[in-house]
Amino acid sequence: MFGSAPWLGSQDYDNPLYGPVNVMEFAAVAKKKLDPLAWDYLDGGSEDEAALRDNRNAFSRLILRPRMLVDVHKIDLSVELFGQKLDYPILLDPAGGKNCFFRDGENTVAKAAANAKALQITNGGIDELIESGKAPVFWQVTTGGQLRNAQTIRSFVKRLEAQGCKAICFTVDIMHVSQRERDIRNGFDRSWCESGLPPRDAQGKMPKAKNPWRVGIYPSRPSPTPTWEALSELCAATKLPVLVKGIMTAEDADRCVKHGASGVVVSNHGARQMDHVGATIEALPEVVKEVGGRIPVLVDGGFRRGTDILKGLALGAKAVCVARPYLYGLAAFGQPGVERVIELLRTELALNMGLAGVPNLAAIDRSLVRWRGETR
């Protein structure tokens, strides 16, 4: 509950951790601390980066419509998602390359998620994560390699179930690797995502990448790439809820429901895959409308403020996922940085729910927002 919340934590302003007062200021610290190559990998998008700009800019076209004289002395952020009770509707998205941003980044984020009781969708080694962190749920994301045929699906699912995974998140928008031009110019080696960046030499030069990012079409991953049948087979093979991440249209959202998905994440992969697809907050309403409450709809992409999250919830998202915000925290201060970023987002959401006159998530609906120019 807001007001008596232990998660508001200390505000020791001699500690550099409390210097940045919002996510963007964490980004500035992260940028200073990271090697420019790692920063570009973290913050960049694909091709023109039009979707990257759209993801952020679209929020300013959406206006909040606050209600006054509602009793908001207690604010309740809790939500239930696929049978899991969460203290707040903010999830940590999967992100490869954490070791480029901080030593042992994968486990560091898992520990932070556990401390903050954040639900983490992870694509890291699940064994180590279960050992190192105790966040409420671990979700394994798959980009398709495990979905080659019914047999590989079954063995993959069995492993996840045995390891205590609570849901499966199937990322469907990365069957080809996009053209990330910052990484191409930098000669960024994709293997560094796993190993972390190698040290620069005495002249400050990076060792030559063995497998640099380049212009062109990489072999698709995997081959053949999964189709809707793979989703049906995956859903049939497990009792775990299957969440499909990377949906941007009503048509695909309907297909997800028809093929047995338990949820969808409206996502453009943080604008790192197909460019010119528009902002996710703009795609959210058509997906919510099409799904019509049959399964929960989540959203990610450019959420940096509590007010952004409030807007996503008002447009019908059950929860909001973030990636770069916690990666900024990781790069800036390691585990405490991740925890602080989550704390800031949570606090901003609670505060703005209070200011908007909505004491709990059930009180948030479409009437809380309007698009600029939209008449009522």
Residue 306 as a binder of ligand FMN (CB under 6 A): the answer is no
Tokens found for residue 367: 């009437």
Beta carbons of 285 and 369 less than 8 angstroms apart: no
Contact call for residue 275 and ligand FMN (CB under 6 A): no
Which residue intervals of the chain are DSSP H helices?
A: 23-33, 36-43, 50-57, 98-101, 105-116, 126-132, 150-162, 181-186, 192-195, 228-237, 250-258, 280-291, 306-314, 324-333, 335-356
**CA–centroid distance for 19 within its chain:** 24
How near is the Cβ of 206 to ligand FMN at its closest, in Å? Answer: 18
CB of 27 to ligand FMN, least distance (A): 11
| Under 8 Å between Cβ of 170 and 243 | yes
Among 20, 89, 97, 144, binds ligand FMN (CB under 6 A): 97
Q: Which residue lies nearer to ligand FMN by CB, 153 or 322?
A: 322
Q: Which of 111, 166, 182, 245 binds ligand FMN (CB under 6 A)?
A: 245
Residue span 312-341 as binding mask against ligand FMN, x where in contact by CB under 6 A, dash where not: ----------xxx--x--------------
Phi-psi region of 276 (alpha: psi -120 to 50; beta: other; left: phi over 0): left
Smallest gap from residue 24 Cβ to ligand FMN (A): 12
Region near ligand FMN per CB under 6 A, out of 233-241, 286-294, 298-306, 357-365: 298-306
Name the phi and psi angles at 118, rounded to 5: -90, 140
CB of 104 to ligand FMN, least distance (A): 16
Regarding 270 and contact with ligand FMN (CB under 6 A), the answer is yes
Q: Can you tell me which of 45, 89, 241, 302 binds ligand FMN, judged by CB under 6 A?
A: 302
First to last CA, the chain: 33
The whole-angstrom separation of Cα 56 and Cα 282 is 11
Confirm whether 269 is a catalytic residue: yes
According to the binding rule CB under 6 A, does residue 235 interact with ligand FMN? no
Residues 125-154 within binding reach of ligand FMN (CB under 6 A): 141
DSSP letter string, 257-313 = HHTT-SEEEE--GGGTSSSSS--HHHHHHHHHHHHTTSS-EEEESS--SHHHHHHHH
Q: Which residues bind ligand FMN (CB under 6 A)?
A: 42, 55, 93-97, 123, 141, 171, 245, 267, 269-270, 272, 300-303, 322-324, 327
- The catalytic site residues sit at 269
